[in-house]
A and B are shown apart, each in its own frame.
Chain A
């Protein structure tokens, strides 16, 4: 049963930040509530105050600003599934959003809420890392950009300060001759392994100019894998293909996979390798 709490209804990010600063761990930001309210109903967490941010204007839009796609933190998954701008520029994110949990969660759950809750099995963090996204964190008097790769600290932990609010996610528009893919494997609605690959090839499509790999869901938090990326970029496409198995092994090891009911550590590491090969193929086909 949900215990009593006070609902704060600020109208600006500044007010949210001030409330967070004033009430500290007794308060939590409430957006879609799909994860937070479940945890509260189960009695796993209790807050004296929930800070409802849904009334704050301007945080639920997807816009294009030169070469950057700006996604408001309050955009629901459903909104992102259907955003024309994303369909034109970031098909991988659209596909990811179409497969988040279930239709009820996608209807009310927000992109920012998902990211801030940092549930280890969540999908977006892994893809955002591969896309080189930046998280915009605001407080009463300041604003900073946090690379996605630094944002996720541990299971259910981000690097946000106590009075910071995630307001926007900025994703660079993928360059010409590039491709991005996110693939996941799991049971029912719960992914147990997720792999994202972003590639950019030269004009002739013969060599890999840049490669980014991130793995998630298997361990406590998503992780970029530069050692595996190094095996795929800077050489020919054929060389990269020949290195895929090795890159998969490295990415599997880096995933910090933990044995559980969904599979052993070895099994999950193997799946990382399988998904890496497939995601590489999918990303390459888009280049």
Chain B
């Protein structure tokens, strides 16, 4: 499942860039993400992703690896986690690009989300919709947090 999102943020690019690397504040924008910690700054992080669809709950202890990093413009990362209780795995690839547009910064990201295992029994369309909701909520939260800060 591939998702492309863009969010315009009324803040300088440096500020948006620094925000991305401020783990605690950044993670607070990711719905259902908790217990984030830095294992190796700029390279490896860990967090627990939780989500709920009706009575179905998942909890993925996740590691996030930064694969590419180009100062102020681009980050590429991948994350993966497994919920052993329900026998499911989650894989996420994330391509983030920042560009200036007047006094705004456009945060554009492409996310590839794969859910494997029993959770897939819920149906592709339901998982896709949930992932889309999570990414929308994330984009809104980042915008709100950064624009509210200035």
Q: A: which residues have CB within 8 A of B?
A: 25, 28, 39, 42-46, 118, 120-121, 154-157, 219-220, 258-261
A-B contacts, 13 of them at CB < 8 A, read: A25-B55, A43-B85, A43-B118, A44-B118, A44-B121, A45-B55, A45-B56, A45-B57, A120-B123, A155-B53, A157-B54, A258-B129, A259-B125
Whole-angstrom distance between the Cβ of B55 and the nearest chain A Cβ: 5
Given A156-B55, A261-B124, 11 other A-B residues pairs in contact with their CB atoms under 8 A? A43-B87, A45-B57, A118-B54, A120-B123, A120-B126, A121-B123, A156-B54, A157-B54, A258-B129, A260-B124, A260-B125
Residues of B near A154 (CB, < 8 A) are 54
Say yes or no: A155 contacts B55, CB within 8 Å. Answer: no
How far does the alpha carbon of A43 sit from the alpha carbon of B122 in the complex, in Å? 12
- Residues of chain A within 8 A of B57, CB atoms compared: 45
A223 CB to closest chain B CB, in angstroms? 14
Contact of B122 among A44, A157, A259 (CB under 8 A): A44
Min distance, Cβ B6 to any Cβ of chain A, angstroms: 20
Complex: A39 Cα to B119 Cα, angstroms: 10
CA distance A42 to B86 in the complex (A): 8
CA distance A8 to B121 in the complex (A): 28
By a CB distance below 8 angstroms, the chain A residues around B129 are 155, 219-220, 258
CB-CB under 8 A from A118, the residues of chain B are 54
Does B128 belong to the interface (CB within 8 Å)? yes
- Are A43's CB and B86's CB within 8 A? yes
Chain B residues with CB below 8 A from A43, complex form: 85-87, 118
B125 x A120 contact (CB < 8 A): yes
Q: When chains A and B are docked, how far (Å) is the Cα of A261 from the Cα of B128? A: 12
Q: Tally of A-B residue pairs with Cβ under 8 A?
A: 51
Which residue on A lies nearest to B132, using beta carbons?
A: A258
Smallest CB gap from A155: residue in B: B126
Q: Which chain A positions have C-beta within 8 A of B124?
A: 260-261
Bound: A155/B125 CA distance, A? 10
Once bound together, how far apart are the Cα atoms of A44 and B87, in whole Å? 8
Across the interface, B128 reaches (CB within 8 A) one of A25, A28, A258, namely: A258
Q: List, in ascending order, chain B residues with CB within 8 A of A219's CB.
A: 129
A39 to B124: give the CA distance in the assembly, Å: 16
Residues in chain A near residue B53, CB distance under 8 A: 155-156
Contact with A along B60-99 (1 / 0, CB 8 A): 0000000000000000000000000111000000000000
B98-115 contacts to A, CB under 8 A, are none
Chain A residues with CB under 8 Å of B54's CB are 118, 154-157
B90 → A minimal CB distance (Å): 15
CA distance A120 to B129 in the complex (A): 12
**Closest 3 A/B residue pairs (Cβ):** A156-B54, A258-B125, A260-B125
Residue of A nearest to B124 (CB): A260
**In the bound complex, how far is the Cα of B53 from the Cα of A42, in angstroms?**
16
Contact present for B128 and A260 (CB under 8 Å): yes
The docked-state distance in angstroms from the alpha carbon of A43 to that of B86 is: 5
Contact digits for B116-145, partner A, Cβ 8 Å, 1 yes 0 no: 001101111110110000000000000000
Query: What CA separation (Å) do A121 and B123 show in the bound complex?
Result: 10
Known: A155-B53, A155-B54. A42 touches B118 (CB 8 A): yes
Task: Provide the residues of chain A in CB contact with B119, threshold 8 Å.
Answer: 44
In angstroms, Cα B122 to Cα A44, docked, is 9
Contact flag A156-B56 (CB < 8 Å), given A43-B118, A44-B86, A258-B128 = yes
Bound state CA distance, A219 and B125, in angstroms?
A: 8
Chain B: minimal CB distance from A66 (Å): 36
> CB-CB < 8 A to B123: which residues of A?
120-121, 260
Q: What's the minimum C-beta distance from B9 to chain A, rounded to whole angstroms?
A: 28
Whole-angstrom distance between the Cβ of A167 and the nearest chain B Cβ: 20
A259 to B127, CA, bound (A): 11
Point out the residues of chain B lying under 8 angstroms from A39, CB to CB.
55-56
CA distance A181 to B129 in the complex (A): 29
- Chain B, residue nearest A153 (CB): B54
> In whole angstroms, what is the CA distance A63 to B56 when docked?
35
